[in-house]
Amino acid sequence: MKQYDFDDVNLPKVNPNEDLETISNNYFRPLFTVDKFEIRSETARDKGIDFHIELKKEQSSGDSVYTNFRFAVQLKATETVQANTDGSFSIQIYSSNINYLLNNGMPAFYVFYHQPTLSFYYENVNSFVAELQKKDGEWNKQEKHSLRFSKLLDATVIADIYKETFDNGILLRQLNQFLKFPVAKDNVGGVIIDANNEVYSVAENIAYIDQFGPDLVNGHQFNFIIEIEQRSHPRAEVPPRFNLICGIAYFQRGNMYKAMELLKLAQQKLQSFEPEVQAMLTYTLLNTKFLLGIMSKQDFDKEMLKITDTKNSGSFFAIEKAYNELSSHKVKPSIGIKKFYKTIRDIIKKDQRNAHMRITAYAKILDAEAILLFHDLEINFTYIIRYTKKPLESKVYLEFLKLGKAYLQRMDLLTDFALKNGYFLGVSNLASSKIEWNYKKIFHKHLLSHWNNRSFDLNAPLNQNDIASLVEGCEKLDKIAGSYEMLEHRENMVSCLNTKYEILHFLGNIEEAKLTKERIVNIIEANDFVGLKARHEDMINGRTAHERFIKDYTLRLNGIQDLIDKIGIEIPDDLSEDIYERNEKEPEWTVSDFFEFKFPYQPES
């Protein structure tokens, strides 16, 4: 029987590139164990994603469930690319593909398969974009970019990707649950804007913003406001409320110059607004000028005092005024804090159903109490620190721990209330404050237990549990910074990253602190936050919280010792170890009976 010869048969040709794609896919899939991952190939008209990989999670019952938490993978394969001198491999990536992956809304990775060595390399898309941004802020205008693959994709990396994707999923779940845009039922519900946000006329747009702008601002719909403003040209004179609403929207989205332009136009008709709106307009314009470096911090504070002193300026400014009075040191702290408590009670009583205002007021109380508690800890320690052998077993420290526990319990209650009311910005602020409290508690504990004659022993090793706690705090701050970025509250983002820098500096993690510092500078420069630059430079030049404490407390203690020496009081060197513990002066605390947080109102389910 004659053997069938395929040489003369017209059949589809084998494409070597397709063979390599099949080989890379076949090797890629086994890297992800079926107990934790479900790999789904993208085959229908995909424009840049090869796989969506979903996480599986084992429950306490032993059953595994699908989470719908996913990450995206774009797989590149080649057998011809030569290694660079450092052993990495370079592949050209189109800007359109980078943007496509960024728009995916979930963690995304480029994976490179090198056929000759049967090796997989990877790069996080966000990390790649961060590097591009450092080199050129307008990278998006280039057609393509060189991506150097140098990191091997192994089991450890895959475990890290699982954790990152899971954490990202939890964050997005919280955002989806609590970041809902409230709309005034009696107002906006009757207005029809088509699905594509098409504009019918400039006049209609202006009238829409003038009438329903406050509801849109309350609903954080700043992008929508900006879209309408940009389509409302040409226009003659507009109602001052239109300029105010649009100015606030641009401010919230970081376009400070455009915000200032519109807010100045609104300010020309300042008297047309009710007192609370006047205060809000003036404050936003002042903040814009400060962030742009047009106004100094001293001048900003001076103008803020004028706003808070104005009658009927609103609850927010009444809270700020009460806090400023407490911080002015014009009265004894024990008297000032009681007055502050009373003022907050009166403010809340006037508007008991305003949950966001209640959260803001209670958070301000926590800020004030934290300052007083740490100040009292330092003062109380001045009586024992030069003599005690067991500082962490002293009455002072043990009572501080007890007060701190009660303080944090109230912070957790307030955080829970903020979550239930969908106030995610408040949740982020409180989470950041809790990590800052922990950082200050740890450096006080460490330093106060290592005083040596006339200085702190800065070489004493940190407690390992404290190190782990601070490192975990830094990881949480990264997630909080991410939520601020999603909310586009970049001022808060800078503050959050400042705390991370301070913690890293205290831990002696200089390299990571440097990266955090660069990240802060990039945000400041990208948003023209000139006013924040001085504050940042002050911090990185020896003014972190722990550095200020070391300097100020050393001066205070040595000043006391010098005075004792000058007046001739002698302290024997052979005192028994427990004499000061047994006869320790009763500690004094400005705050011992905390303000009771009440949460009478819960939103309808």
Mean pLDDT of 272-293: 86
- SS3 label, residue 69: strand
What pLDDT shows up at residue 139? 80
What pLDDT shows up at residue 123? 93
How many CA within 13 A on the CB side of residue 182?
13
Among 172-186, 391-405, 538-552, the minimum mean pLDDT is found in: 172-186
Task: Write the pLDDT tens digit of every residue in 189-217.
Answer: 333 344 444 445 788 888 888 888 888 88
* pLDDT above 70 (res 222): yes
What pLDDT shows up at residue 472? 93
Find all residues with CB under 8 Å of 485, minimum gap 6, and list them. Answer: 493
Name residue 544's amino acid: T
The two three-digit tokens of residue 499, written as one number: 């705390």
Q: Among candidates 107, 120, 144, 97, which has minimal Cα distance to 28?
A: 120
Mean pLDDT of 473-488: 87
- SS3 label, residue 14: coil
What pLDDT shows up at residue 485? 82
| Neighbour-count burial of 162, counting CB atoms closer than 10 A to its CB (0-12 exposed, 13-18 middle, 19+ buried) | buried
Confidence of residue 554 (pLDDT cuts 50, 70, 90): very high
Pairing mode, if any, of strands 119-124 and 108-114?
antiparallel
- Which neighbouring-strand residues pair with 54? 38, 70
Find all residues with CB under 8 Å of 390, minimum gap 6, and list them. Answer: 577, 581
| Neighbour-count burial of 164, counting CB atoms closer than 10 A to its CB (0-12 exposed, 13-18 middle, 19+ buried) | middle
What pLDDT shows up at residue 117? 84
What pLDDT shows up at residue 19? 62
The two three-digit tokens of residue 471, written as one number: 């490192």
What pLDDT shows up at residue 105? 63
What pLDDT shows up at residue 189? 34
Residue 86 to residues 36, 82, 148, Cα–Cα distance (Å): 34, 11, 10
Find all residues with CB under 8 Å of 203, minimum gap 6, and list them. Answer: none
Residue matched to tokens 């995909």: 46
87 dihedral zone (left: phi>0; alpha: psi -120 to 50; beta): left
What pLDDT shows up at residue 569? 60
Q: What is the DSSP secondary structure assignment for residue 588, as one 8-state letter? A: -
Distance CA 194, CA 21 (A): 44
> H helices then E strands: how many in the chain?
21, 10
Whether residue 368 contacts residue 594, with contact meaning beta carbons closer than 8 Å, is answered with no
Task: Write the pLDDT tens digit of every residue in 306-337.
Answer: 888 777 777 778 888 888 888 877 778 889 99
Q: Express as a percent the part of the chain with pLDDT over 90.
A: 33
Q: Among candidates 497, 498, 495, which has minimal Cα distance to 540?
A: 498
- SS3 label, residue 139: helix
* pLDDT above 50 (res 228): yes
Confidence of residue 171 (pLDDT cuts 50, 70, 90): low
Whether residue 400 contacts residue 464, with contact meaning beta carbons closer than 8 Å, is answered with no
Whether residue 575 contacts residue 387, with contact meaning beta carbons closer than 8 Å, is answered with yes
CA angle 148, 153, 159 (to 5 degrees): 130
Confidence of residue 548 (pLDDT cuts 50, 70, 90): very high
* pLDDT above 90 (res 376): yes
**How many C-beta atoms lie closer than 10 Å to residue 318's C-beta?**
20
| Neighbour-count burial of 603, counting CB atoms closer than 10 A to its CB (0-12 exposed, 13-18 middle, 19+ buried) | exposed
Confidence of residue 572 (pLDDT cuts 50, 70, 90): low
Please give the backbone phi and psi of residue 410, each rounded to the nearest 5 degrees, phi first. Answer: -70, -35
Distance CA 205, CA 298 (A): 39
Mean pLDDT of 6-27: 64
368 vs 560: which has the higher pLDDT: 368
Q: What is the DSSP secondary structure assignment for residue 112, as one 8-state letter? A: E
Residue 88 to residues 79, 85, 146, 305, Cα–Cα distance (Å): 14, 7, 12, 58
With both helix axes pointing from N to C terminus, report the angle between 240-252 and 275-291 in degrees, rounded to the nearest 10.
Answer: 40
Whether residue 225 contacts residue 246, with contact meaning beta carbons closer than 8 Å, is answered with yes
What pLDDT shows up at residue 13? 54
Whether residue 319 contacts residue 344, with contact meaning beta carbons closer than 8 Å, is answered with yes
What pLDDT shows up at residue 38? 92
Name residue 508's amino acid: G
Mean pLDDT of 428-442: 95
What pLDDT shows up at residue 603? 47
What pLDDT shows up at residue 172? 63
* pLDDT above 90 (res 460): yes
Residue matched to tokens 């586009």: 488
Among 162-166, 180-184, 390-394, 553-557, the minimum mean pLDDT is found in: 180-184
What pLDDT shows up at residue 181? 36
User: What sign does the dihedral 427-430-434-440 (CA atoms) show?
Assistant: positive
What pLDDT shows up at residue 46? 53
Confidence of residue 257 (pLDDT cuts 50, 70, 90): confident
* pLDDT above 90 (res 21): no
Mean pLDDT of 17-28: 76
Mean pLDDT of 571-577: 52
Distance CA 423, CA 175 (A): 10
* pLDDT above 90 (res 462): yes
* pLDDT above 90 (res 578): no
Among 4-8, 247-251, 359-363, the minimum mean pLDDT is found in: 4-8
* pLDDT above 70 (res 15): no
Among 168-177, 224-233, 436-445, 557-566, the minimum mean pLDDT is found in: 168-177
Name residue 232's amino acid: S
Q: What is the DSSP secondary structure assignment for residue 127, as one 8-state letter? A: H
| Neighbour-count burial of 147, counting CB atoms closer than 10 A to its CB (0-12 exposed, 13-18 middle, 19+ buried) | buried
Model-level pTM greater than 0.85? no
What pLDDT shows up at residue 513? 92
Peptide bond into 30 cis (omega under 30): no
For residue 475, the Cα-to-chain-centroid distance in whole angstroms is: 11
* pLDDT above 60 (res 297): yes
What pLDDT shows up at residue 315? 78
Residue matched to tokens 């896919």: 25
Confidence of residue 16 (pLDDT cuts 50, 70, 90): low
Peptide bond into 107 cis (omega under 30): no
- SS3 label, residue 416: helix
Residue 188 to residues 182, 184, 220, 273, 600, Cα–Cα distance (Å): 10, 6, 14, 21, 28
Residue matched to tokens 């903020």: 418
The two three-digit tokens of residue 333, written as one number: 């702290």
The winner for highest mean pLDDT among 72-81, 150-159, 383-392 is 150-159
Among 13-22, 294-303, 342-351, the minimum mean pLDDT is found in: 13-22
429 vs 218: which has the higher pLDDT: 429
Distance CA 471, CA 465 (A): 10
Q: Please name the helix (run of DSSP H) or strand (run of DSSP E) that holds residue 499, with its range, or none.
A: helix 490-507
Among 44-58, 324-338, 397-411, 430-444, the minimum mean pLDDT is found in: 44-58
Average pLDDT over the chain reads: 83
Longest CA–CA span in the chain (Å) reads: 122
